[in-house]
Chain A
Amino acid sequence: MLRLLRSEAFRLQRRWMPWVLLLIIAVGAVLVYLLIYTSVNAQLQAIRNGTIPDQPGTRTAIEQTVRQLRPDRVQAFGVSIVNGIGSIMLIVLAASHIGTEFGWGTLRTLLAHGASRSGFFVAKLATLLIFAAVFALVGVVASIAGSYLTAAIGGLETSPGVDLPAVASAAARGVFAFVPYMALAVVFAVWSRSAGAGIAAGLVAYFAESIVAGILVSLNRDFATVVNYGLSRNVASITRVTVGASVGPAEGGAGSVASTLPDQGQAALVLVTYTALFLALAWWRLRARDVTVS
């Protein structure tokens, strides 16, 4: 098992995709900070210049947005960037990580050289989980850098600085929230023996389910009792932070819709159940299927 894991890590390090994903999150997180600051600063300047009217609440809302960019809010804003981009990226990586083994025919090469199906599956999942953690770490570090850079450019308050325990907690919950979507991508990739199908199914589920859930709850809050057993609202609950920002495909962090989110205990249980179900289905298919030679 350890050999398979080492072999898996060896191959993953030599693929361009993980490095590109890390580059995207590193650059992307900093860019989001800078773009948002540039945007809100331009609005503030326009209000000050009288180019746009200073309606009640507008300036306050903008100032609140600027406050989100400060280092002491990284656990909310910065981590939400990582989670938002990360969910999509990791769906792509998870499906590709397993699906390409079928597409390239390398699964049978590995098995023919003595790898076990269970070892292959566990090694894949372990490397995905490790990569998700590395991805979150890089993203958080980039967010912190982006926050300090923005603060330096805009003259924002940097005290009391980054709340590292809060950031670590939020990032860990973010990684936990990645897992069911990655598992979903894996199950589709295994069943279809295709990276493309895994990516497509994972992304469709990610976006469509959250949009439908959001619409239903907006129409009638009673629908929350049903959609709260889906993925998106439980992810939103898990990744919610007290300072207001949250992630999830469509759910905002605050307000009346957020108040219908499941509690975090239920959310964790639902996400673990989905993950276990997806992985069990993937494993069952992988274990039962003949790997034809030609």
Chain B
Amino acid sequence: MTGEVVLRTSGLVKRFGALTAVDGLDLEVRRGEVVGLLGPNGAGKSTTIGMVLGLVRPTAGRAEVMGLDVATHRQEALAAVGAMLEVTTFYPYLSGRDNLAAIAILRGRGAQGRIDALLERLGLAQRARSKFRTYSLGMRQRLGVASTLLADPAVVILDEPANGLDPAGQREIRELIRELAQEDRAVLLASHLLHEVELVCDRVIVVKKGTVVTGGTIAEVTHRDSYFRIDVPDATRAAGLIRAVPGVREVRVLEGALDVVAEMDRGAELNRALSAAGIYASAIVPTASTLEDVFLELTEEERSAPAAS
């Protein structure tokens, strides 16, 4: 059912000795949406995914898939999950096809019957019988993505799926991720490729030192720090007028201009308020932040002193 929460973490904590890798992390992923999990190296993304998959034991908190606690009902919960981890690992002596077959046996539920279609879908059909050890990084990533879909999962977790892919490959993966969401699956995507995240995700969660520092739709996150640059002859007087406009959060007075922090749909109201007072702006320019701007600003401190994951 679209919108149903199928993956949830509540107060998830993981400590490795004195290091707190994840600190009370809450997240929800619903069917039909793609959620980006962002953060610098060591922010706790992979550890969080590890806890969701039951690979890493939480120090506190819980992870649920389809309403089932992963700690107590791991196998039932993971039956609904297809996951690709950051470092894609398969049996080097098996072919790509046999690697999928080995996992399909494990998965059951008709997984064997999906192998050929997935190899075709991920562009691996021609090299399906080649040994995994002969695969390029991009092919390994594709095989990893294929393996996540063997069990026809409701929840797909992808940790850096576009690593090593060329631009065309990255685009294919983006399209695939969108298709997965359209098929009413929930997708949790951890990636460093912010442009990719911006293009494919419905929501993002930015983590820093194991805690969520911001989250929301791409528009919400990027517009939070967006502003209007308004060129006016009398900036001080204009600032007084603008501050009274509903939705304006902050006004910074510059020489011959104003920076107005407000919702991006307030441009016309700002113009009207100034015009009504006989002040005519020569330019009102909305300046939206990119996801990269927001990410870099939020994680600046962490990037300068990265922690271990």
A interface residues, Cβ below 8 angstroms from B: 3-4, 6-7, 10-11, 14-16, 104-106, 108-116, 290-294
Contacts and interface: CB of A to CB of B under 8 A. Distances in A.
Given A3-B105, A14-B98, A114-B78, A292 B92 contact: no
Given A104-B89, A113-B106, A293 B74 contact: no
A3 B57 CA distance: 24
B145 to A, nearest CB: 13
A195 to B, nearest CB: 13
16 contacts: A7-B102, A14-B94, A104-B90, A104-B91, A105-B87, A106-B89, A109-B103, A110-B103, A113-B82, A115-B106, A116-B75, A290-B55, A291-B55, A292-B47, A293-B49, A294-B46
Nearest to A123: B106
A114 B79 contact: yes
Contact of A290 (B56, B74, B82): B56
A10 B147 CA distance: 17
A293 B49 CA distance: 8
Contacts of A294: 46, 85-87, 159, 309
A7 B90 contact: no
A242 B99 CA distance: 48
The size class of the interface chain B forms with chain A is: 35 or more
B91 to A, nearest CB: 6
Contacts of B56: 290-293
A228 to B, nearest CB: 42
B74 A116 contact: yes
B83 interface: yes
Contacts of B6: none
A15 B98 CA distance: 12
A294 to B, nearest CB: 4
B110 interface: no
Contacts of A111: 53-55
A288 to B, nearest CB: 9
B246 interface: no
A236 B55 CA distance: 42
Contacts of B151: 113-114
A15 B94 CA distance: 8
A113 B147 CA distance: 9
A203 B105 CA distance: 34
B101 interface: yes
A11 B105 CA distance: 11
Contacts of B3: none
B14 to A, nearest CB: 8
Contacts of B46: 292-294
Nearest to B55: A291
Contacts of B159: 293-294
Contacts of A290: 50, 55-57
B194 to A, nearest CB: 19
Contacts of B303: none
Contacts of A112: 53, 55, 78, 83, 85
Among A11, A114, A115, chain B packs the most CB atoms within 10 A around the CB of A114
Q: Which 7 residue pairs across A and B have the least CB separation, nearest first?
A: A105-B89, A293-B46, A114-B78, A7-B105, A291-B55, A293-B50, A290-B56
B107 interface: yes
B287 to A, nearest CB: 37
Given A16-B93, A114-B78, A10 B102 contact: yes
A210 B263 CA distance: 80
B101 A10 contact: yes
Contacts of B47: 292-293
B242 to A, nearest CB: 48
A6 B105 contact: yes
Given A10-B105, A116-B75, 11 more contacts: A3-B106, A4-B106, A6-B105, A11-B94, A104-B91, A111-B55, A113-B82, A113-B103, A114-B81, A290-B57, A294-B86
A158 to B, nearest CB: 43
A199 to B, nearest CB: 18
